[in-house]
A and B are shown apart, each in its own frame.
Chain A
């Protein structure tokens, strides 16, 4: 809302004048215009007033009491019935100076009187005063409205922020509750690690402790290889870099067993306090599986090596001898012996091909396994 200077606002104020005497209207208009008021509507027919008020709200109404069709009293009465118009300043123009008529007009809601014949200064002064009061009141009301709007806006903003926070909270709560990893909160920034003060449902399944039991434990109880020095280093790293630390630790679960767990630490500020969050994922089975695969791979390597080197050695001897017999003696052999020798020779070469194929396959499998296992 654009604020105008008060004086300008007053002079631009809309003024309604209702008087059945045209000379009164002319006089009042002239007087007011001479004082700088230029926004005047006037009528000698009082019946026009109420319809006019429906379309427009003046800053002040100057109204005669004695009029032929509707009296000023009645008009004032119906104006005041309308709650929107109850603050409209009404200045009664009357020749009747009796206190009774004044009281009646005041009772109905008139704000002031101008007695006929008019005193020019009085007219200007009364109109100015009433308008000023009205404008100031308007401005105050406007300011109130602005303030209310601001408060409303701010409230809406805060409510939206709160909604968003609640939504986020719910969102993170869902993540927290549905995570397959154990998530525990504690404090690492003190002399020694604090007990855990929050954990998610997965924690209970992974560690075998209830939430209440975990409240009485700290990372010292869980980390099988706990040492003050090691955790001092973790603390240092967390405070120097705001990164997540990924480690593999042996974590003691409720049964007393130490399980291999991917363990990550994050430091975060919650309500002006640094807290540490630790995520635990049991990878014992995965590690064991990898070890099994590596062992199998080793055995496989040995077999592959053995068949391509050791198994082939006696075969190569046989092939050598067979070749020598074939080269040196075949001409002296009878047909039958020669065909037997051919069977032996073909078989040894066939076996040689088999060994070569197995060797090639195991080499390919080998390089694949190496890639997979890094």
Chain B
């Protein structure tokens, strides 16, 4: 198992955090001990760990109060850390406009509609996300 990266779950809905973490841990992913219930905390986390060379896969919700997923992406892309941070958008939204908008961000490797399927995560395990 290629656990050279950590997964961070960002969602304002604690039940989704619970479900996502539960599935990830069950499948043996290296889940970061911290999960974030709002985007500001995630941004804070990356600001504090600017020099870190660790690799992160973020499961990012889009619509959150105060700071939304798009703003997080703007922040991440402004850092230019495309090699160490990848994003999978995981949203309840079925608005097609969101999917189109997601194409503008290089950090995004996939766009998922909730619920997050176990089968998808199983498939993810065999992929090389970070070269």
A-contact bits for B88-131, CB 8 A (1 contact / 0 none): 00011111110000000000000001111110000000000000
Q: How far apart are the CA atoms of A323 and B114 in the complex, in Å? A: 11
Does any Cβ of A come within 8 Å of B38's Cβ?
A: no
Q: How far apart are the CA atoms of A352 and B94 in the complex, in Å? A: 9
> Are A363 and B97 interface neighbours, CB within 8 A?
yes
> Are A316 and B113 interface neighbours, CB within 8 A?
yes
Nearest CB on B from A318, distance (A) = 8
> Are A363 and B113 interface neighbours, CB within 8 A?
no
> Are A324 and B92 interface neighbours, CB within 8 A?
no
Residues of A in contact (CB 8 Å), total 21
Closest residue of B by beta carbon distance from A359: B94
Nearest CB on A from B22, distance (A) = 8
> Are B93 and A317 interface neighbours, CB within 8 A?
no
Spot the interface stretch: A162-170, A255-263, A305-313. Answer: A305-313
Nearest CB on B from A245, distance (A) = 41
Q: Given B13, B92, B96, B116, which contacts A363 in the complex, CB threshold below 8 Å?
A: B96
Closest residue of A by beta carbon distance from B62: A309
A-contact bits for B18-36, CB 8 A (1 contact / 0 none): 0100110000000000000
> Are A363 and B95 interface neighbours, CB within 8 A?
yes
> Are A320 and B96 interface neighbours, CB within 8 A?
no
Residues of A within 8 A of B114 (CB): 312-313, 316-317, 319-320
Q: How far apart are the CA atoms of A319 and B118 in the complex, in Å? A: 12
Residues of A within 8 A of B15 (CB): 317
With A309-B63, A313-B13 in contact, is A320–B94 under 8 Å at CB? no
Q: How far apart are the CA atoms of A107 and B92 in the complex, in Å? A: 129
Q: How far apart are the CA atoms of A324 and B16 in the complex, in Å? A: 13
> Are A320 and B95 interface neighbours, CB within 8 A?
no
Does any Cβ of B come within 8 Å of A356's Cβ?
A: yes
> Are A319 and B13 interface neighbours, CB within 8 A?
no
Residues of B within 8 A of A312 (CB): 92-94, 114
Nearest CB on B from A89, distance (A) = 108
Nearest CB on A from B60, distance (A) = 15
> Are A320 and B116 interface neighbours, CB within 8 A?
yes
With A308-B94, A312-B94, A316-B113 in contact, is A324–B13 under 8 Å at CB? no
> Are A316 and B92 interface neighbours, CB within 8 A?
yes
With A317-B13, A317-B15 in contact, is A324–B95 under 8 Å at CB? no
Q: Given A317, A359, A360, A363, which contacts B16 in the complex, CB threshold below 8 Å?
A: A317
Q: Given A323, A359, A363, which contacts B118 in the complex, CB threshold below 8 Å?
A: A323
Q: How far apart are the CA atoms of A363 and B94 in the complex, in Å? A: 11
> Are B92 and A313 interface neighbours, CB within 8 A?
yes
Does any Cβ of B come within 8 Å of A327's Cβ?
A: yes
> Are A321 and B97 interface neighbours, CB within 8 A?
no
With A309-B63, A313-B13 in contact, is A319–B93 under 8 Å at CB? no
Q: How far apart are the CA atoms of A118 and B70 in the complex, in Å? A: 133
Residues of A within 8 A of B116 (CB): 320
Q: Given B13, B23, B94, B118, which contacts A356 in the complex, CB threshold below 8 Å?
A: B94
Closest residue of B by beta carbon distance from A318: B115
With A317-B16, A324-B19 in contact, is A360–B115 under 8 Å at CB? no
> Are B92 and A359 interface neighbours, CB within 8 A?
no
Q: How far apart are the CA atoms of A360 and B117 in the complex, in Å? A: 23
Nearest CB on B from A343, distance (A) = 18
Does any Cβ of B come within 8 Å of A40's Cβ?
A: no
Q: How far apart are the CA atoms of A332 and B45 in the complex, in Å? A: 42
Q: How far apart are the CA atoms of A352 and B113 in the complex, in Å? A: 11
Nearest CB on B from A73, distance (A) = 120
Q: What are some 11 contacts across the A-B interface (CB < 8 A)?
A: A309-B93, A313-B13, A315-B92, A316-B115, A317-B115, A320-B19, A320-B114, A324-B19, A324-B23, A324-B118, A359-B96
Instruction: Supply 11 further A-B pairs (C-beta < 8 A) apart from A320-B115, A323-B115.
Output: A308-B93, A308-B94, A309-B91, A309-B92, A310-B92, A316-B113, A316-B114, A317-B114, A317-B115, A324-B23, A359-B94
